[in-house]
Amino acid sequence: MKTPISFEFFPPKTPEGVEKLVGVRQKLYALQPEFFSVTYGAGGSTQDGTLQTVQAIIADGFAAAPHFSCIGATRDSVRAQLAQFRTAGIKRMVALRGDLPSGYGAFGEFKYASELIEFIRAETGNEFHIEVGCYPEVHPQAKSPEDDLRAYATKVKAGASSAITQYFYNADSYFHFVEESQKLGCNIPVVAGVMPIISSSQLMRFSDACGAEIPRWIRLRLQAFGDDTASIKAFGLDVTTALCERLVAGGVPGIHFYTMNQAVATTEIVRRLKI
């Protein structure tokens, strides 16, 4: 059985970025993904760009899910946004708490993603497919792994349709998370988030910020390559392909690629996997 794949973009901030993403989208459309997700800046700072990118993908005939964060939102603003989604033909979203931008004073009317999900379900029933985030290696702000699992379970019980993980490079962490969450009655599909390794410095920076673990052997190999970008990319393809092979063999319900608005590495991994 073919493993479903999906891709994440961030909304471009310049006309050049918009134009470049058009070409990237065309290359990734050829892989027949289940959907695309488009991220959302802290406090909704890229809201317009997110919606424009999602609308462009839908206009091209593919499903797209905007990230939808609740930080700073009110019930009225969420209602207005849901109406906007309907008008745009959006059928799915990624519901998140989101990050407070610097200088932001208050949470708004929703403190947690679970509250946002509960409200959306109360307002719209099963009209939308709601994705949520989860952390196989524990959310960086969680007090403990148990607390993090309970927070995830609360989102599932609030009405999540499926989950997408933060990226990871240790397949065991994914399988362990799924097993532990099922013990709490969480039986929704958990799609594995995968970050192709394109740049060593970029990977280190992102991972330090979001709490994703880079196994020591990968970190040391990347450091040993120095500025040899060709070797970094070749090694990255091998590592990420092997990770995906293990996930597919273990029955993962889908793989969600964090593309960083690039097509080459993701396309090559999917080609190697023959999915």
The single residue listed with the structure tokens 């009225």 is 76
- Say how far apart CA 40 and CA 115 lie, in whole Å: 18
Q: Tell me, what's the pLDDT at 49?
A: 87
Task: Tell me what the mean pLDDT of segment 124-137 comes to.
Answer: 96
Average pLDDT, the chain: 92
Asked if pLDDT for residue 198 goes beyond 90, the answer is yes
pLDDT per residue over 78-88, tens digit each?
999 999 999 99
Strands 35-38 and 190-194: unpaired
What is the phi/psi pair of residue 166, to 5°? -60, 155
CATH architecture of 5-273: Alpha-Beta Barrel (3.20)
**52 and 11 in contact (C-beta within 8 Å)?**
yes
Q: Tell me, what's the pLDDT at 189?
A: 98
pLDDT per residue over 180-196, tens digit each?
999 999 999 999 999 99
CA atoms within 13 A on the CB side of 77: 14
**81 and 96 in contact (C-beta within 8 Å)?**
no
Question: Which amino acid would we find at residue 86?
Answer: R
Evaluate if pTM is beyond 0.85: yes
Which residues are designated catalytic?
8
